[in-house]
A and B are shown apart, each in its own frame.
Chain A
Amino acid sequence: MSPNDVFDLLILTLLIGCALAIARLKDLAAAVVLFSIYSFALCLLWVHRGAPDVAMTEAAVGAGITAVLFFYALTRTGRREK
Chain B
Amino acid sequence: MRRVLALAVVLVLAALMMAGVNQLPPPGQADQPVHRHVAADYVAGGAQAGGAGNLVTSVLLHYRALDTYGEVVVIFAALLGVLLVRSTGGPPTRPPSRLVPVSPVVDQVVRLMTPFIALFALFMIVEGHVLPGGGFQGGVVLGALMILLSLILGPERLRGLLPIGAVTWVRAAAPLVFLLCALAGLGLAGWWFALPDPGWLREFVLVALELAIGFGAAAALTGFFLSLAVDGHH
Contacts and interface: CB of A to CB of B under 8 A. Distances in A.
Interface residues of A, number: 14
B144 A53 contact: no
B137 A68 contact: no
A25 interface: no
A57 B214 CA distance: 12
A76 interface: yes
A36 B222 CA distance: 19
Interface string A49-77: 00011001100110011001100110110
B205 interface: no
Interface residues of B, number: 22
A73 B140 contact: no
Interface string B22-62: 00000000000000000000000000000000101000000
Contacts of A60: 137, 140-141, 144
B221 A72 contact: no
Contacts of B136: 57
Given A56-B132, A60-B137, A65 B228 contact: no
A69 B144 contact: no
Given A52-B132, A56-B124, A56-B133, A72 B225 contact: yes
B225 A69 contact: yes
A72 B137 contact: no
B183 to A, nearest CB: 28
Interface of B: 54, 56, 93-94, 97, 99, 124, 132-134, 136-137, 140-141, 143-144, 147, 221, 224-225, 228-229
23 contacts: A53-B132, A53-B133, A53-B134, A53-B137, A56-B132, A57-B140, A60-B137, A60-B144, A64-B144, A65-B140, A65-B143, A65-B221, A68-B144, A68-B147, A68-B225, A69-B225, A69-B228, A72-B225, A72-B228, A72-B229, A73-B228, A75-B99, A76-B93
Interface of A: 52-53, 56-57, 60-61, 64-65, 68-69, 72-73, 75-76
